[in-house]
Structure 1
Amino acid sequence: MYRHKEKTLKCPQCNRRFIYDYEVKSHVSNVHTQSRETFQCEICDFTSKFEISLKTHMVRVHTKDFLYKCQTCDKGYTRKSELESHEKIQHQGVRHVCQHCGKGFLTERAFTKHSKSHDPDHIEKVFTCHLCSVVFRSYTSHNRHMKRHNGQLPGYVCDICGKRITTLQSLKFHKRTHTGEKNYLCGTCGKVFIRKQALVTHTRVHTKERPFQCLVCSKRFTQKSSLNIHMRYHTGERPYGCEFCSKKFVTNTLLKDHKCKANG
């Protein structure tokens, strides 16, 4: 879990406290210093009462001469803290880390829900479909599943195979699986893809880029989904269970490959 640093630096003119020295200087300049001078950008119409704001503007908008640059995607930042935040969120896909098992989460809501699972007195609420016995962890997922049974799920129907698609954009990409249309070409090996994201992921085969890192063992992956599956080996989570026996698996593929004697 990431903790906030303590605000130990006090403003010399008021009771406000800050973490970094530059924040104190900025606060004094912005709040306690009387100045009528206006700083004007020489390239565009941007103006500011503060020189530091003009310097930041010049770097971010015009010169792009960033002091801190991401080694993965080359994005630049004027502060080190901004770069660190970018790397954790965009390339590690993590904003909150469980101190018990090391599992990472993008949202505080998901993190809080997960944290309860480590409480020995916690009983997880689940929703079971009375038609096919599939179990869901949220009411929203269960409700959406039931609408599929009842034919109430809004969306679009593929006129080729009859599959129901939730959005028009998804239907557009789905139809390409029938037509064979692939508009995204890899410039290195010539392989083509239906979706742009699939091309981006494939390109990492050539660049050897692995932007998603496990916070437990530091192993890196080309896809976020691969990292999610890998984390299950650390947490012990096995969401795919056999309906005929008690065995559970980390992926649906392993479940499908499972040969259950109870099922013949």
Structure 2
Amino acid sequence: AAFIKEEQEELCTSQEGEQLELKQETDAFMLTPVDEDSEHGDSGSTTDAEPEPTKRLHSSESHNKNYFRCDTCGKDFKYKSYLKKHMRGHTGEKPYSCKTCGKDFRDCSAFKIHMRFHTGERPYSCKVCESGFVSSGELTRHMRVHTGEKPYSCGTCGKDFKDASTFKIHMRFHTGERPYPCEVCGKGCISNSELTKHMRGHTGEKPYSFSIHMTDLLIFLLATVFL
């Protein structure tokens, strides 16, 4: 517990941590598929997109003592806190745990955003409709509803998208990438939500059967009354 607290203080209060948090607040919603790995619905995988600078340096620069190198994949990072967060992608470590729902997170920024779903805090407000949002990235995506902006364009079919998450899923139709395999039959799915729907074919789950049955019952009762 002491280790986790120390880590939280290091990432959340240091200048490096603040820069990381500001960048990742946008990355968490702009670069990660919402229906797949959002920090509210998954165990902290929303910050898989690395904050800049993340590109590998040229060989002449890679030995700069001011940069921190990942011994696993060779990536160089400007801040030690960036490297620590990156390493958790290799180790699977998620030291930040939500006491409310039990979800775990790799870094402080995603954890803080997640907690806002529980507390109701919405520090980012839309100036047009006054809706509140948990992160600046979520607000940016929302603003496109008002502006009609669709900055993500498919180079294959020309279709435009408002957010990176939908665009990323769309591209899988063209590339054939299916990163969500079914553990029962091995079929690959383009998103976590598609996999969930597919799994119902194996489990026989019918999540909407109750509402359908209630509709049928209502129709029957109305028909009985007016006959």
Instruction: Output the TM-score relative to the length of structure 2.
Output: 0.47
* Structure showing greater relative contact order (alpha-carbon pairs closer than 8 Å, 6 or more residues apart): 2
Please identify the structure whose Cα radius of gyration is greater. 1
**Structure number having the greater helix percentage:** 2
Instruction: Output the TM-score relative to the length of structure 1.
Output: 0.41
